[in-house]
């Protein structure tokens, strides 16, 4: 309102109209934005229902003409035949029918992507939300949770303790006496193994887990256009165990195809080097180690903690702990979508932790790797 005018000269009705017009300029944009949000929510729900409908159409074999005929013995022709799965036979070749369904599904998904692209462009232009991003005001944690210095200090203490214990056994080169053999048969509860599994591995795990979360591809695809407007996404994201990073790296690098290649199978059978005398790279050794841990622990449903402990023990035995962790830290396709901007990994690149772990690189270890499954394997072999 222009307050420089002589408001006293206006009538009561004219003054009321000017006040109503000024208030409408403030209230109407908010109402329009609320209506647009509701329309976007409705369109998103319709698109999700359409996706589920297409998936159900393809996933159900009964709707693709896959019925078969069951005939009763001794019945007359035409009377003893009942069709299951469909009331009438499918016209044409079943293979052609499946191809048609596949084309319909691909066409529907293409239309879905175009519709989502339009919605994202509309949301960006109206509300200023970037595609696939979540506002920084969401998923916030307290400053105490973001402080990683206690985790780094705990890692330093565990590294020093493991180093002291390893140097104590170093002159003997881990000669297994009858007493240590008895301890290993009871589960390997010697002091060095306990320090590595319960202190060092836990410290590495906690530092890797700082700011680590499981990304949700479903949310980013469907709800990204209005993610910044929905209060449902204001809660903290789902946590992710650091061992899953190694598993994702294993799958991303086609670890199973590498380890189970015919050449490597033959080399394992006859204990011959498959590389022809060349040095095994850290990437190759990491893929092999992850495959061995998964092969031994997954059949017995061991936890992610147990599998990470086995990998750390194997890394210390091969003097590759720093190089293996460094491969994960340098994998941008894993770090960017799974770490918060305030995490220790995103903030420092894990450099100081790698410097601490390098204190153990020159030491020789002979740690048991299968402690979590040894007793279960013995029971299985007994039966």
Q: What separation in angstroms does the CA of 3 have from each of 15, 16, 19, 22, 336?
A: 12, 14, 12, 12, 53
pTM attached to this predicted model: 0.56
What count of other Cβ atoms lies within 10 Å of the Cβ of residue 8? 6
Residue with the bigger pLDDT between 291 and 69: it is 291
Model pLDDT, residue 265? 58
| 158-194 pLDDT, tens digit each | 999 999 999 987 655 444 343 444 444 444 448 999 9
What count of other Cβ atoms lies within 10 Å of the Cβ of residue 360? 20
Q: Is the dihedral of CA 32, 38, 43, 48 positive or negative?
A: positive
| 3-57 pLDDT, tens digit each | 666 667 778 888 888 888 888 878 777 777 777 778 888 888 887 777 777 766 6
Q: Where are the domains of the chain?
A: 148-166+190-215+238-381
3-state secondary structure 63-105: HHCCCEEEECCCCCCCCCEEEECCCCCCCCCHHHHHHHHHHHH
Whole-number Å distance between alpha carbons of 85 and 282: 54
Mean pLDDT, to the nearest integer, of 200-211?
Answer: 95
* CATH number 1.10.490.10 given to 148-166+190-215+238-381: no
Model pLDDT, residue 261? 66
Q: Does residue 234 carry a pLDDT above 70?
A: no
Mean pLDDT, to the nearest integer, of 258-266?
Answer: 64
């Amino acid at each position: 309102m222009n307050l420089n005018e002589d408001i006293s000269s206006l009538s009561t009705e004219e003054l009321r109209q000017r006040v109503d017009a000024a208030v409408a300029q403030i209230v109407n944009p908010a109402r329009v934005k609320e209506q647009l949000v509701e329309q976007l929510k409705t369109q998103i729900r319709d698109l999700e229902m359409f996706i589920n409908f297409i998936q159900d159409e393809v996933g159900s074999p009964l709707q693709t003409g896959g019925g078969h005929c069951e005939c009763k013995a001794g019945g007359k022709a035409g009377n003893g035949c009942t069709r299951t799965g469909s009331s009438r036979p499918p016209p044409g070749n079943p293979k052609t029918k499946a191809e048609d369904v596949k084309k319909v599904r691909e066409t529907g998904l293409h239309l879905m992507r175009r519709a989502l692209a339009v919605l994202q462009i509309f949301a960006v232009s109206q509300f200023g939300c970037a595609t696939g991003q979540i506002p920084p005001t969401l998923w916030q944690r307290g400053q105490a949770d973001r402080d990683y210095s206690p985790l780094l200090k705990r890692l330093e203490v565990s590294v020093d303790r493991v180093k002291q214990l390893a140097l104590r056994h170093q002159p003997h080169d881990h000669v297994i006496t009858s007493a240590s053999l008895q301890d290993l048969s009871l589960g390997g509860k010697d002091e060095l193994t306990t320090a590595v599994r319960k202190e060092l591995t836990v410290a590495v795990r906690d530092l890797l887990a700082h700011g680590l979360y499981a990304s949700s591809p479903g949310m980013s695809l469907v709800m990204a256009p209005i993610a910044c407007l929905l209060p449902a996404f204001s809660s903290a994201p789902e946590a992710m165990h650091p061992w899953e990073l190694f598993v994702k790296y294993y799958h991303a690098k086609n670890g199973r195809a590498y380890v189970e290649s015919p050449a490597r199978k033959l080399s394992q059978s006859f204990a011959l080097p498959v590389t022809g005398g060349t040095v095994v790279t850290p990437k190759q050794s990491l893929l092999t180690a992850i495959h061995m841990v998964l092969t031994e622990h997954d059949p017995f449903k061991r936890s992610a903690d147990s599998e990470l402990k086995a990998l750390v023990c194997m890394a210390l035995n091969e003097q590759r702990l720093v190089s293996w962790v460094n491969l994960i830290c340098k994998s941008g396709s894993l770090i960017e979508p799974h770490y918060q901007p305030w995490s220790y990994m995103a903030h420092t690149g894990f450099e100081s932790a790698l410097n601490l772990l390098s204190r153990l690189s020159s030491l020789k270890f002979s740690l048991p790797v299968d402690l979590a499954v040894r007793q279960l394997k013995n029971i299985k072999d007994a039966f």
